Amino acid sequence: MYDGDIASVLITEQQLRDKISEIAQKVDSDYEDVHTSDLVLIGVLKGAVMFMTDFARALGRSTQLEFMAVSSYGSSTSSSGVVRILKDLDRDIAGRHVLVVEDIIDSGLTLSWLLKNLESRNPASLEVCTLLRKPDAVQVEVPVRYVGFDIPNEFVVGYGLDYAERYRDLPYIGTLDPKVYTSGR
Ligand code: XMP
Ligand code: MG
């Protein structure tokens, strides 16, 4: 699959599995006292889909799954912080304990907007769980409770993350060979 397109494997399948069960155990204990029907995971489409499904199944408890799709105005490679909701939640989150499940935080602008938006709906609590975090994210004032991996400032694909809608189905996280950017496929 994608032979030759991946320059290096950054995080293996096994490392993903181990980290996800580690985070799941923390979440299980942190939310021990929260009633099942009150814990809602919100996955941000499409990048967080693989992480969301594996994470939800790694939890030792049942949760409700919600998805949102947002699009950031601006160029395709940098986000502007101005966000449009493409798909909103199906249910009200007022009074519920919300955990936002993200694939990656880069500038943090998208997340910062999303948190303000969700906060205005009056959840009982609002926390963030991200699989990956890039160095620029430290500049952002958003509290991220659970982080899988801090990664270098490189463009990564796989396990939900795409380049031009490709590579989401790779089972690991890797960096792209520069020839992919230049071949125009
Ligand atoms: P912020 O607002 O935190 O944007 O700058 C985060 C969003 O940018 C995308 N993104 C990436 N997507 N590989 C990807 O496939 C990457 O290395 C990468 N870095 C940022 C992604 O959509 C994320 O939600
Ligand atoms: Mg995303």
- Which CA distances in Å does 116 have to 113, 130, 141? 5, 17, 12
* 94 CA to centre of ligand 2 in angstroms: 24
114-159, pLDDT tens digit by residue? 999 999 999 999 999 999 999 887 777 788 999 999 999 999 999 9
> Which residue, by CA, sits nearest to atom 22 of ligand 1?
47
Whether 185 has a pLDDT exceeding 60, the answer reads no
Beta bridge mates, 130: 102, 147
Q: Which CATH number belongs to the domain containing residue 29 in this structure? A: 3.40.50.2020
Instruction: Determine the Cα–Cα distance for residues 100 and 145; give it in Å rounded to an integer.
Output: 10
Which H or E run contains 34? none
φ/ψ of residue 16, rounded to 5 = -65, -50
Residues 70-96: pLDDT tens digits? 987 665 555 666 789 999 999 999 999
Q: Whose C-alpha lies nearest to ligand 1, atom 14? A: 161
Residues that place a CB less than 5 A from ion ligand 2: 47, 103
> What is the number of the ligand 1 atom nearest to the C-alpha of 107?
5
Backbone angles phi, psi at 164, to 5 degrees: 50, 45
Q: Active-site residue numbers?
A: 106
**How is 43-72 classified by DSSP, letter by letter?**
EEETTTHHHHHHHHHHSSS--EEEEEEEEE
In this structure, is residue 23 part of a structural domain?
Answer: yes
Q: Pairing state of beta strands 83-87 and 64-72?
A: antiparallel
Taking CB atoms and a 6 Å cutoff, what residues make up the pocket around ligand 1? 47, 79, 103-111, 155-157, 161-162
20 located within any domain: yes
Which one of 161, 169, 170, 180 would you pick to mutate in the ligand 1 pocket, going by the greatest count of ligand atoms within 8 A of its CB?
161
Query: Does residue 171 fall inside a structural domain?
Result: no
Residue 182 lies inside a defined structural domain of this protein = no
Residue 76 falls within a domain, yes or no?
yes
How many whole angstroms from 122 Cα to the centroid of ligand 2?
23
Atom 21 of ligand 1, residue of closest alpha carbon: 104
pLDDT at 179: 86
Cα–Cα distance for residue pair 49/41, rounded to 1 Å: 12
pLDDT of 81: 67
Mean pLDDT of the chain: 92
CA dist list (Å): 111 to 43, 89, 104, 119, 151: 12, 16, 10, 12, 18
Ligand 1 geometric centre to CA of 179 (Å) = 20
41 three-class SS? strand
In this structure, is residue 52 part of a structural domain? yes
What's the pLDDT at 48? 97
Question: Is residue 62 predicted with pLDDT exceeding 80?
Answer: yes
For the residues 51-62, what does the mean pLDDT come to? Answer: 96
Q: Which ligand is nearest to the CA of 79?
A: 1
What pLDDT does residue 109 have? 87
Residue 157, in any domain of the structure: no
140 within 8 A of 108, measured Cβ to Cβ? yes
Band (1; pLDDT cuts 50, 70, 90):
confident
Task: Give the pLDDT score at 75.
Answer: 56
Residue 67 has pLDDT above 60, yes or no: yes
104 part of a folded domain: yes
CA neighbor of 90 nearest in space, from 129, 64, 111: 64
From the CA of 87, how far away is ligand 2's center (Å)? 13
Give the model's pLDDT for residue 107: 87
Q: Rounded to whole angstroms, how far apart are CA atoms 132 and 16?
A: 11
pTM over 0.95: no
Supply the range of the domain harboring residue 144.
Answer: 13-151
What is residue 141's predicted lDDT score, i.e. its pLDDT? 76
Q: How many domains does the chain have?
A: 1
